[in-house]
Amino acid sequence: MPSTTRERIVDAADQLIYEHGFEHTSFAQIADSVGISRGNFYHHFRTKNDILDAVIERRLDRTRDMLGAWKADNDTPLGRIRAFVHILIDNRALIERYGCPVGTLCAELGKLAHPARGRANELFVLFQRWLRRQFTELGCGDEAGPLAMHVLARSQGVSTLASTFQDEAFVRREVDDLENWLLQFSANNPVH
């Protein structure tokens, strides 16, 4: 099924915002990227904030899909957490260029005190709740929440430094370190 013009606009805006930031991305760049006239563009979106809202909703949908796929593809909670950690390897080329799409968007909207900030933060909340659920299934009880935040923080830190130092050995070392850290939970849990 060919995508609609609206979908193509949101796709292009999503990519430009990731690569160059929200503030730096203009209507004109998005329209050029899609290859449509300004008139056609304004038919779909009146303001840059309207596009941002659509981009965030699209990212929320895609994140839910990704988390669902990780769940379906991995039988154990430990395997699912490992799938999360492995984004750092799988997406390393993009992360080295542009950082984490979630972390950098939330940081920018925070500084702009942008009204869409809270909705963008929901992207982090999706990951955090999903990770918490995996740690709960691993039998971590009340520690599941703090452990989810710990894994999320470590992956964010790796993303930030990956885009500054562009040092692949560093990323692989930190991922190995996180995987070794995760093994302690498998030892405590006979299911794995």
# residues near a second copy by CB under 8 A: 39
Binding of a second copy at residue 163 (CB under 8 A)?
yes
**Is residue 77 within 8 Å of 135, Cβ to Cβ?**
yes
Binding of a second copy at residue 21 (CB under 8 A)?
yes
* Of the candidate residues 13, 54, 106, 144, the single one contacting a second copy (CB under 8 A): 106
Binding of a second copy at residue 168 (CB under 8 A)?
no
Eight-class DSSP state of 86: T
Amino acid at 59: R
59 φ/ψ sector (left φ>0, alpha ψ -120 to 50, else beta): alpha
* Of the candidate residues 111, 168, 183, 188, the single one contacting a second copy (CB under 8 A): 111
97 alpha-carbon distance from chain centroid? 15
Residue 37 CB, nearest distance to a second copy (Å)? 26
Binding of a second copy at residue 42 (CB under 8 A)?
no
Query: Which CB atom, from 24 or from 64, has the smaller least distance to a second copy?
Result: 24
Coil, strand or helix: which one is 155? helix
**Is residue 84 within 8 Å of 74, Cβ to Cβ?**
no
Residue 53 CB, nearest distance to a second copy (Å)? 18
Binding of a second copy at residue 110 (CB under 8 A)?
yes
Angle among Cα 27, 31, 32 to the nearest 5 degrees reads 115
* Of the candidate residues 98, 116, 133, 179, the single one contacting a second copy (CB under 8 A): 98
Query: Which CB atom, from 77 or from 103, has the smaller least distance to a second copy?
Result: 103
